[in-house]
Amino acid sequence: MSSDSSPLQSSAVINEAVQTLREGGLVAFPTETVYGLGADASNPEAINKVFTSKGRPSSHPLIVHLAAPDRFDQSEIDWVSVLAPWVRDISEDALKLIHAFWPGPLTLVFKKDKRVLNELTGGQDTVAIRAPAHPVAQELLRKFKGGVVAPSANRFGKVSPTRAADVRHEFEGVLDLMVLDGGDCEVGIESTIIDLSSGDHAVLLRPGAITPSEILAKTGIQVSRPGDHRPSSGDLPRVSGSLKAHYAPTTPLRLYAPGRVLDALSEFPDTKSRVAVVVWDSESSLVLEDHPSIDVEEIIVSSDPSIFASRLYRTLRDLDEQAWDLILFPEPPAGEEWDGVRDRLQRACFGSGPSSISHANS
């Protein structure tokens, strides 16, 4: 776990964060996926602050984060009581998923209890819930004793933060924000989201580290893709990360097909350009003599999907700060274990470039 080497926060600091949340303030905190921008899920003004600080449209629903009660034997946790204030029906399948994957990088969407504020669900009849595994998140949530809404702690449409410094950078000059430091996020991309609200099917809304095959193997539950079983449910943006443009750097970003770096470069007309080319560690070095006038630098990344995911956003942020004219990433290979990063990279490409925010909002 990232906590082993991370500067975990002292109890006094966590207590201060709890107090800030109780007073309606915002606190950024680490989870195992990405850093979240937290607010009291029972306080409408605090929830509104989250939307305005992120620049996120209020119709995009938020995930409620809950503490996993502290038990030596996780299988003894009474999740039905934990969820009772938030959700209407808890199916057998829901309990199987929860026992297999909570606390962890899995978000479940349920029909909501009537007490859940419309402000956080974007007016929908469903609510997304997750119990994060990161020890700092767990301590914060246990001490707070309530639900905490937490979108990724980035400005809307931008790259999600995986370090405390990323969060500070994201909100510099915009918001005086308390940031709990829990080190680097271990998973590195947002949680897998499964919609259980239809009652009979588990539907994948956002791919992440936990894949449908892993779910099938551990629980026997078959997860389908949206559209497999029902018509699309209207125009509501159920998952903001499902917008075509998201997770985007300001530098133009493109993917290249295996072995086709030169093609990608030759499509780029300006020969004075500085181009960062990301390459798999499993591949031999690029041969780029044909393009002597383009300033190309290779950046080596892991060809293991979990390691790649854990460093993806950090790599995007670092490259974005280095003032390249273009960033080229290799297309992730086929296979479910790459779905999460493929999804993030494709949206990042679509939204990349100086005007990405206007894309993201469209």
Residue 175 buriedness (CB in 10 A; 0-12 / 13-18 / 19+): middle
User: How many other C-beta atoms can be found within 10 angstroms of the C-beta atom of residue 177?
Assistant: 18
- Contact between 53 and ligand TXA by CB under 6 A: the answer reads no
Binding to ligand TXA by CB under 6 A, coded x per residue (else -) over 65-104, reads ----------------------------------------
Residue located via tokens 């949340």: 21
**Binds ligand TXA (CB under 6 A): choice among 9, 31, 138, 310:** 31
Contact 359, 257 (CB under 8 A): no
Residue 238 interacts with ligand TXA (CB under 6 A)? yes
The binder of ligand TXA chosen from 9, 53, 107, 251 (CB under 6 A): 107
Residue 330, binding choice from ligand TXA, Mg ion, none, Cβ under 5 to 8 Å by partner class: none
Gap between the Cα atoms of 341 and 353, Å rounded: 19
Question: Do 297 and 276 form a contact (C-beta atoms < 8 A)?
Answer: yes
CB of 184 to Mg ion, least distance (A): 18
**Any long-range contacts for 162-165 (C-beta under 8 Å, 24+ apart)?**
162/34, 162/35, 162/188, 162/310, 162/313, 162/314, 163/35, 163/314, 164/28, 164/30, 164/35
> Which of 31, 138 has the CB closer to Mg ion?
31
* Residue 147 found at the interface with ligand TXA (CB under 6 A): no
Q: How far apart are CA 10 and CA 324, in angstroms?
A: 39
| Given 152, 192, 197, 219, the residue binding Mg ion (CB under 5 A) | 152
Cβ atoms of 67 and 138 within 8 Å: the answer is yes
192 lies in the site for Mg ion, by CB under 5 A: no
From the list 223, 352, 333, the residue with the least C-alpha distance to 276 is 352
Residues of this chain, 247-276, that bind ligand TXA according to CB under 6 A: none
Determine if 192 is a binding residue for ligand TXA (CB under 6 A).
Answer: no
> What's the one-letter identity of residue 352?
S
Q: Which of residues 313-342 bind ligand TXA (CB under 6 A)?
A: none
* Dihedral sign computed on CA atoms, order 117, 119, 158, 52: negative
Q: How near is the Cβ of 324 to ligand TXA at its closest, in Å?
A: 26
Listed ranges 17-25, 80-88, 149-157, 211-219: which one lies at the site for Mg ion (CB under 5 A): 149-157
| Matching residue, tokens 């996020």 | 185
What SS3 state is found at 45? helix
Half-sphere exposure of 127 (CA within 13 A, CB side): 27
Closer by beta carbon to ligand TXA, 18 or else 275: 18
Whether the CB-CB separation of 232 and 226 falls below 8 Å is answered with yes
Considering only 2, 9, 33, 162, the residue that binds ligand TXA (CB under 6 A) is 33
One of 61, 182, 183, 332 touching ligand TXA (CB under 6 A): 61
Site for ligand TXA in 117-136 (CB under 6 A): 121, 124, 126-128, 130, 132
Interatomic CA distance for residues 116 and 118, integer angstroms: 6
> Which listed option, Mg ion, ligand TXA, none, makes contact with residue 134 (CB within 5 to 8 Å by class)?
none
Applying CB under 6 A, the residues found at the interface with ligand TXA are 31, 33-34, 36, 60-63, 107, 109, 121, 124, 126-128, 130, 132, 150-152, 190-191, 193, 205, 238-241
Applying CB under 5 A, the residues found at the interface with Mg ion are 152
